[in-house]
């Protein structure tokens, strides 16, 4: 709980300097201390049609969450994460999960063959979470946190609320 309060204070007061590298340092702390990801399941700077900031790996069942970080307070656009989640050709995965964040907001996405079959879209934004209160951090943890979410069970349930 202590780091969640620190996170809320950071969002309210901002960070200096607010550039992407510094924002990424804070996102790493959020992943570890608020979302309970272990260091061995967080891989930074994976080359995947460019460099994705973080890949979070569940070992069983094999699932990966891709995290793209932008500068603190910057405007988030679907294009910032699209190339990391949409793979051309028949090798595209059934479902790929991604998050785009500037530390204040988290946009949660799904993409892949099954998403396209269900919605007709290649990329689908499932949720946008504005970090303002403790409940927002809890909601984020339920969607992409380590293990506490039942291997993305809450995210799969959120798909029922989406246009898909």
pLDDT (tens, 9 = 90+) of the chain, 164 residues, equals 689 999 999 999 999 999 999 999 999 999 999 999 999 999 998 776 678 999 998 766 657 899 999 999 999 999 999 999 987 665 566 788 999 999 999 999 999 888 888 889 989 999 999 999 999 999 999 999 986 545 566 665 665 555 44
The pLDDT value recorded for residue 154 is 61
pLDDT digits (tens, 9 = 90+) for 14-36: 999 999 999 999 999 999 999 99
Phi, psi dihedrals of residue 121, rounded to the nearest 5°: -110, 150
Q: Which residues contact 129 (CB under 8 A, 6 or more apart)?
A: 105, 106, 108, 136, 139, 140, 143
Torsion angle (degrees, nearest 10) of CA 89, 94, 96, 97: 160
Sheet of strand 123-130, all strands in order from the earlier edge strand to the far edge? 42-47, 51-58, 63-69, 96-101, 105-111, 123-130
The pLDDT value recorded for residue 126 is 94
The SS3 assignment for 68 reads strand
Rounded distance between C-alpha atoms, residue 99 and residue 67, angstroms: 5
């Amino acid at each position: 709980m202590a780091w969640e309060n620190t996170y809320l204070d950071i969002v309210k007061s901002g960070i200096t300097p607010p550039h992407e590298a510094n924002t990424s340092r804070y996102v790493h702390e959020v992943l570890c201390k608020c979302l309970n990801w272990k260091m061995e399941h967080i891989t930074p700077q994976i080359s995947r049609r460019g460099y994705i900031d973080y890949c979070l790996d569940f070992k069983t069942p094999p699932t990966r969450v891709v995290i793209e970080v932008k500068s603190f307070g910057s405007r988030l656009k679907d294009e910032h994460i699209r190339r990391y989640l949409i793979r051309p050709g028949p090798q595209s995965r059934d479902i790929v999960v991604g998050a785009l964040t500037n530390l204040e907001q988290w946009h949660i996405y799904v993409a892949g063959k099954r998403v396209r079959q269900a919605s007709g879209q290649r990329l689908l934004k499932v949720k946008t979470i504005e970090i303002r209160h403790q409940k927002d951090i809890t909601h984020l943890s339920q969607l992409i946190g380590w293990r506490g979410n039942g291997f993305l069970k809450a995210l799969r349930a959120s798909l029922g609320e989406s246009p898909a």
